[in-house]
Structure 1
Amino acid sequence: MNNSDIDEVDENVTAELSRLRDSIDNIDAAVVHMLAERFKCTQQVGHLKAKHQLPPADPGREASQIARLRQLAENAKLDPAFAEKLLNFIIAEVIRHHETIAAGEDQ
């Protein structure tokens, strides 16, 4: 392999890395926007629960959502444990928001 071959490979690799990173950046942006939409909905749920004196957490719903997400992850060839960790993180944040709303601190 001579220097011109190495330069060409490097340019091809650089171009492919750039293309992949652009896609990753787009996906990250979409994930952030989807999470923002999800939290808008869960805040509305929090207000509805507070209005009707329902508890912030719903362990039955959470368990079914975790099972559902684990199955979706398996179908998508994603580690179900990772998906469960992500959902648990989101659920904890949602419950924190719901507790804040129920305490009347979210006006």
Structure 2
Amino acid sequence: MTTKHPADPAVLAELTRLRDSIDNIDAAVVHMLAERFKCTQQVGHLKAQHHLPPADPARESRQITRLRELAENAKLDPAFAEKFLTFIIAEVIRHHEQIADTTGGEESRTA
């Protein structure tokens, strides 16, 4: 059985400060992702209007390469950054497919 030691108040204060910073960063990440998805939704509508495919493998590859380089420069694991972007890209493509399915070319006739 382990004995609980009362935490040093200075340690608790530092822990709280760091956790507050993490919470603020998490909020910023969520807001940045929301802005990113607003832009990609506009891309999806533009693609649907002009009958372009939902996915662009060449761009996706360039973006992954770019993000891996940014991650390396930021001292972030590039493999993690790639997984993160790949997840986001998959969600964007899913949205683009939904837009194309629901639009059915209507926007190109009304635009």
Matching of residues 1-107 of structure 1 within 5 Å: 10-104=8-102
* Separation (CA, whole Å) in 2 of partners of 1:10 and 1:28: 27
| Secondary structure in structure 1 of the residue aligned to 2:8 | helix
Query: In structure 1, what is the equivalent of residue 107 of structure 2?
Result: none
| Secondary structure in structure 2 of the residue aligned to 1:94 | helix
TM-align CA RMSD: 1.3
Equivalenced residue count is 99
* Separation (CA, whole Å) in 2 of partners of 1:68 and 1:16: 35
Deviation for aligned residue 1:104: 1.1
Deviation for aligned residue 1:71: 0.0
Gaps of 5+ in 1: 1-5
Gaps of 5+ in 2: 104-111
**Moved >4 Å (runs of 4+):** none
Letter in 2 for 1:82: F
Letter in 2 for 1:70: R
